[in-house]
Structure 1
Amino acid sequence: MSANLIPASRVETAVASADILGETPLWCDRSRKLWWIDIDRRLHQSFDASTGAYQTSSYDCQFLGSQALTADGAHLLAQDLRLFRQGADGAPIAQVCEVEGGLDNRLNDGRVDARGRLWIGTMDNQLHRPNGSLYCVTGNGEVTRSFGDVIVTNGIAFSPDNRTLYFTDTRRYRTWMFDFDLDDGVIRNRRLFADYSSSQQRPDGACVDVDGGIWTAFFSGGRVARYRPNGEIDTVIDLPVTNPTCVCFGGSDLKTLFITSARKFLDPHQLWAEPRAGHLLAVHGIAEGLFEHRFVSSSR
């Protein structure tokens, strides 16, 4: 079966943000905004599609690695190796937990499951050592390590029936799938879902649509691909940028695919040739997404 090709001409610029390393887009159905980060500029950003309003907040850390929505309307923000809670009311930021310590790592991609737990991984700051791990963080700040030997954590996503967890190690060029026990919060039966080790293509951030399709951005690959649950690619979006990083569905009907991208690692000629590099991009009407689960805090 040949894949449906969506041309770059259908890809719009939602925000000309010129991110160094844009990442982790999330649609919030309460604020009706798209939220995302620029890891290297340590910016938390939001876009209101109905008004065009674009806002940013900066943080004092080395890397703002990831984010998640919370049940009480706040945000979880991953700063270096610690998680913080930023209230929606502008309250002072408060530490939730330190996920990891003692390694030259930082927190990277994460996603909340249907029970309100955050699954988040670390990555090697040098991009080649298997220093990283996948962790599960509960609402009381308890951290459990699931496995290690990870170079760059990415692509964490759950199937619509909550029975499968997808996980990518970008610098191993592979995506795996696990059986997921929602009640116990345990993953088992790791097996390969997609393997690009021979071509060294870099699968990055991912999300899942209502039909169980897995949408994956390919860093340095200039495209987003949709996998069927059986691993076949049925749709490819050609992009006007080399470095897409992550994807999510948003908008009032959850039928707009938002795509973050990066200027990082592009030389001056590439930056000149790609004026939209680092921008927040959007494609309308290609599939329907799912609402993001929210992190549920509990008192210690």
Structure 2
Amino acid sequence: MSDPSAEPICVVNTPAILGESVLWHPVDKKIYWLDLKGPALHIYDPATKAADVWKLSLGVPMGTLVRAKEGFILTGREGTFKVDVAARKLTPWVNPNDRAELTMFNDGKVDRQGRLWLCTSDNKETDPIGGIYSLTADGKSEIHDRGFACGNGPGFSPDGRTLYFSDTMVRKVYAYDLDTRTGTITNQRLFTEFSEAQGMPDGMTVDAAGGIWICHWDGWQISRFRPDGTLDRAIRLPVPQVTSCAFAGDALDTLYITTARVDLAADMLAKAPLAGSLFALKPGERGLPEPVFG
């Protein structure tokens, strides 16, 4: 199922410790992504190839970055922040994490209706105490499920009626039915399960045809799955820790992929010197416009 025709290219060669949460801004036409353990916000302009880094004074690891009606929303150990990139300003907002002493925000995405879905993880990523939260623009949050040592994803089907979620430490990806009107999820079911050789499922995105692209932590690849859970194809990367992905460009036909170098030994870094860098590839599919929070 490997696809050698889609060749990942390193577009920002940087040793990010834990690159994550990549997204495309269709107005300023730039790529934004986080180093959760930097902590830092990276900005890349595909037109000029210019790369910029904003070092953040926050606890680590941070969680996720999403577009909002004005600027961005960032999650961290301290809760959520409204982000003004131009002014380099963070404004504390709300903290929906009801177990902040035990868990931390990890990945998150905005659904087709503008709700922000947030995953939390156990601080040590060992106990299954993390959950799935939703947050609305008025600051109201809701807890939908618990029982995950490290929650990742999520992703949403093109019609918005299915939520995909990575239960990373047990190598499973689940699907839920999402009621687009009420914002509730039901009917958890196994979508796919990774083998040990495949690594662990991390961040994801969904393309316009409904294909689910899932990153492999410790798996050296990104894979596309059909909506029925079968593997469509896998694309190998030159680094082991593949973390998040997003379609970008005016045609949404370029897939950008973040990577990490967490606790990699010297011999592994010698094999994967680009670990932590940002990659891009043309997979042959197009993405969907990412919704704006609120």
Tell me the TM-score normalized by structure 2: 0.95
Is the Cα contact below 8 Å between 2:2 and 2:236 reproduced in 1?
A: no
CA deviation string 1:206-251 (max 9, x = no partner): 0000000000010000010000001111111011111111111112
Identity across matched positions, percent: 33
**CA distance, structure 2, for counterparts of residue 195 and residue 181 of structure 1:** 25
- String of CA shifts for 1:110-162, please: whole Å, max 9, x gaps: 00012211000111121111121110001011111111111111020000011
Q: Displacement of 1:252 after TM fit? A: 1.9
Gap runs ≥5 in structure 2: none
RMSD over aligned Cα atoms: 1.6
2:185 to 175, 178, 187: 187
Report which stretch shifted further, 161-170 or 60-69: 60-69
Q: Give the Cα separation in 1 of the matches to 2:85 and 2:194.
A: 40
On the 8 A contact 2:31/2:45 being kept in 1, the answer is: yes
Deviations 1:44-101 (A, max 9, x none): 11100001111111222222221110122x0111111501001244174222211214
5 Å-filtered alignment, 1:215-234, equals: 215-234=213-232
Query: Which of 113, 116, 123 pairs up with 1:125?
Result: 123
Query: How many residues end up aligned between the 2 structures?
Result: 292
- Relative distance call for 1:51 and 1:197 in structure 2 (3 A) is closer
Which residue is 1:283 aligned to? 281
Query: Match for residue 261 of structure 1?
Result: 259
- Choose the corresponding residue for 1:22, options 8, 14, 19: 19
Code of the aligned partner of 1:270: M
Determine the structure 1 residue equivalent to 2:28. Answer: 31
Partner of 2:50: 53
For residue 167 of structure 2, what is the aligned residue in structure 1?
Answer: 169
Structure 1 stretches lacking a partner, 5+ long: none
- 2:41 is aligned, of 40, 44, 48, to 44
SS in 2 for 1:5: coil
Deviations 1:150-208 (A, max 9, x none): 11110200000111000111002100001111111111111000123776830100000
Question: 2:234 corresponds to which residue?
Answer: 236
CA–CA separation in structure 1 for the residues paired with 2:198 and 2:227 = 22
Q: Supply the distance in 2 between the matched residues of 1:15 and 1:200 (Cα, whole angstroms).
A: 25
Say if 2:43 and 2:51, in contact at 8 Å, map to a contact too: yes
Separation in 1, partners of 2:129, 2:46: 39
1:94 & 1:201 partners in 2: Cα distance? 37
Counterparts of 2:183 and 2:285 in 1: how far apart (Å)? Answer: 29
Corresponding residue number in structure 2 for 1:82 = 79
Provide the secondary structure at the position in 1 that maps to 2:214.
strand
Give the secondary-structure state (helix, strand or coil) at the position aligned to 1:269: helix
The 8 Å contact of residues 203 and 217 in structure 1, kept in 2 or not, is answered as yes
Q: Does structure 2 conserve the Cα–Cα contact (< 8 Å) formed by 1:179 and 1:190?
A: yes
Q: Report SS of the residue matched to 1:6.
A: coil
> Contact conserved, 1:174 with 1:197, CA < 8 A, in 2?
no
Secondary structure of residue in 2 paired with 1:270: helix
**Residue of structure 2 in register with 1:248 after alignment:** 246
User: What TM-score results when the alignment is normalised by the length of structure 1?
Assistant: 0.93
Deviation at residue 4 of structure 1 after TM alignment: 4.9
